């Protein structure tokens, strides 16, 4: 019985330490009440040789209710894969879906004309993207990665041209919000690169 109690006490202590680290934001490397975005976009040279695409209407990225805030979410997967939380002193400058919308439109604009949902043009293909995951995942107290996943649907004149899910992860350079922001920026760019390559391969040349 004493052995069981000791194991429980150790587990509880470890969990408390992790919660303090992640929940409070590791103030040694992160400023209190810090706000993060995805940073500067990739260099133009990264898309210089990309295949051009015809005009595409890109709607604002949709997201579940849990991602419609500026909360900076994390997951303690090594404690409980279903345990999530958010930093108390670190936030995004805007909800993740809005950050990803800007990033996606900027990347696709390097390949061809990009229209928004407000544009009245109807014949062009319509790209709808749903953000399904955007969080920093802790694999251990001092080890984490950024995970981003989306589902994209491409339609033209009411017909589905293609649909596919994309996901990417990137290691965090530090086990705090600052490291998580860098990891999520890298993972976002990876997902957008995958999505862009997929879009360029779709049969859209006949659109008018």
Task: Look up residue 173 and give its two tokens.
Answer: 């350079």
State how far the Cα of 69 lies from the Cα of 95, in Å rounded to an integer: 5
In angstroms, rounded to a whole number, what is the distance separating the alpha carbons of residues 62 and 151?
A: 10
Per-residue pLDDT band for 123 (boundaries 50, 70, 90) equals confident
The token pair that represents 186 in the structure block: 């890298």
Secondary element (H or E) of residue 46: none
Terminal C-alpha separation, the chain: 75
Distance CA 54, CA 207 (A): 8
pLDDT (tens digit per residue) in 146-195: 999 999 999 998 899 999 999 999 999 999 999 999 999 999 999 999 99
Helices 177-200 and 96-109 pack at an angle, to 10 degrees, of: 40
Helix extents (H) in 86-176: 96-109
Quick check: is 39 in a domain? no
Q: Which domain holds residue 150?
A: 2-30+51-200
In a domain, 45, yes or no: no
Tell whether 179 is covered by a domain. yes
Residue 38 forms part of a structural domain: no
**Residue owning tokens 């976002």:** 188
Spacing of C-alpha 3 from chain mean position: 43
Alpha-carbon distance of 129 to 121, in angstroms, equals 19
pLDDT at residue 41, as a whole number? 86
Q: Any bridge partners for residue 169, and if so which? A: 147
In a domain, 187, yes or no: yes
pLDDT exceeds 70 at position 103? yes
Pairwise CA distance, residues 202 & 200, whole Å: 6
Asked, for residue 15, whether it belongs to a domain, the answer is yes
- Using pLDDT thresholds of 50, 70 and 90, give the confidence band for residue 49: low
Which two three-digit tokens encode residue 118? Answer: 């407000």
Q: Are 87 and 70 in contact (CB under 8 A)?
A: no
Task: Tell whether 41 is covered by a domain.
Answer: no
pTM over 0.95? The answer is no
What is the average pLDDT across 41-58? 70
pLDDT at residue 14, rounded to an integer: 44
Which pLDDT score is estimated for 203?
A: 83
CATH of the domain at 70: 3.40.50.10610
Burial class (CB in 10 A: 0-12, 13-18, 19+), 113: middle
What total number of domains does the chain contain? 1
- Residue 147: per-residue pLDDT: 98
Contact present, 137 and 74 (Cβ < 8 Å): yes
pLDDT at 44: 61
In a domain, 36, yes or no: no
């Amino acid at each position: 019985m004493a052995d069981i109690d000791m194991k429980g006490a150790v587990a509880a202590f470890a969990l408390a330490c992790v919660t303090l680290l992640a929940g409070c934001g590791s103030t040694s490397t992160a400023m209190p009440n810090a706000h993060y975005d995805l940073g500067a976009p990739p260099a133009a040279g990264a898309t210089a040789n990309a295949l051009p695409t015809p005009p595409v209407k890109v709607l604002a990225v949709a997201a579940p209710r849990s991602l419609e805030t500026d909360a900076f979410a994390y997951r303690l997967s090594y404690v409980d894969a279903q345990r999530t939380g958010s930093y108390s002193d670190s936030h995004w400058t805007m909800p993740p879906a809005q950050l990803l919308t800007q990033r996606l439109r900027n990347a696709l604009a390097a390949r061809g004309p990009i229209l928004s949902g407000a544009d009245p043009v109807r014949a062009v293909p319509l790209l709808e993207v749903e953000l399904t995951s955007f969080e920093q995942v802790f694999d251990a107290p001092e080890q984490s990665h950024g995970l981003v996943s989306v589902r994209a649907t491409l339609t033209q004149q009411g017909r589905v041209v293609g649909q596919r899910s994309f996901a990417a992860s990137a290691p965090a350079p530090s086990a705090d919000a600052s490291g998580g922001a860098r990891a999520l920026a890298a993972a976002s760019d990876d997902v957008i690169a995958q999505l862009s390559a997929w879009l360029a391969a779709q049969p859209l040349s006949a659109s008018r």
